[in-house]
Amino acid sequence: MIQFFLLSILFIIGIYFGSFFTLATYRLPKKQNITHKHSYCPNCNHKLGIFDLIPVFSFLFLGGKCRYCKHKIGIRYFLFEILTGIVFVLFGLSLKIDVYSLRMDDIIYFILGILYFTSLFILGGINKEKNEIPKSVVYYQVFISFIYIVYSCTFQKGNVYKYGIYLCIMFFLILYDTIHFRKNLKENTTLLIFIFIVNMVMITKEYITMMTLLFAILIIGFENAIKYCKKRKSQKVIDKHEKTPIIFYLSVANIIMLVGSNFLVNYMVK
């Protein structure tokens, strides 16, 4: 019963995080503040009250509409909040979190995992909707990577030399990114993807990163094949310049692989 209560708490925390992720995904590309500016309806700009901001339940109680202008709210926000709650629950289960045997390193790892998931959800959401990669979120992920390295070397006896190499690679990537931006006054998308992948290696280990890359490639290939068949069938012109939201696919694949590997290690491997 207590374990069910714990999982329920994780789900509630997850849907609140999901609500924040949707807000960040909407505001960051518009260069709007995501922490101090009050939530508002994007259609009528009316400030939302406390009962309008309860994740999942506000959508259900209001019938999927704004209380003030009656404009329909996209169901994807509702589904995204539920999905985030489910991911948080699965992540907790994959770590075999037990209220009777909680250890400090387990708590720290779970918190770091949630902070890392935050970057994946926001980066993936913005990359999917706007085909952009916000540098601020990528650098936030770099900060989480550094904190994780400290945790790993403190509690898990991580390989200091290995992490030292990764940090050197990250330093040169960020240095080159800074120089490139000052010269060209625009972001280098490819470089940001490399920084994202190095972050992934540092936090989720090499084998999970490799599985993530392979899984993401399979998803991209499968989706592109479906799009190609649909366009051929409808005789539409194929847009060769259409960009693939690589960070979105990598984020989705990494969440699946990280949670899946935790289940494998904690439940199946003796």
* C-alpha triplet 111, 249, 170: angle, nearest 5°: 60
- pLDDT tens-digit series, residues 236-259: 655 555 678 999 999 999 999 999
- Say which residues have a Cβ less than 8 Å from residue 211's Cβ, sequence separation at least 6: 253, 257, 261
Its pTM stands at 0.90
- pLDDT tens-digit series, residues 204-219: 989 999 999 999 999 9
Residue-range domain boundaries for the chain: 1-102
Mean per-residue pLDDT of the chain: 88
- Say which residues have a Cβ less than 8 Å from residue 7's Cβ, sequence separation at least 6: 89, 92, 93
Inter-residue contact 136 to 123 (CB < 8 Å):
no
Query: Based on C-alpha coordinates, what's the Rg of the chain?
Result: 20
% of the chain at pLDDT higher than 70: 96
Classified as helix, coil or strand, 197 is helix
Inter-residue contact 82 to 52 (CB < 8 Å):
no
- pLDDT tens-digit series, residues 218-240: 999 998 888 878 777 776 655 55
d(CA 106, CA 118): 18
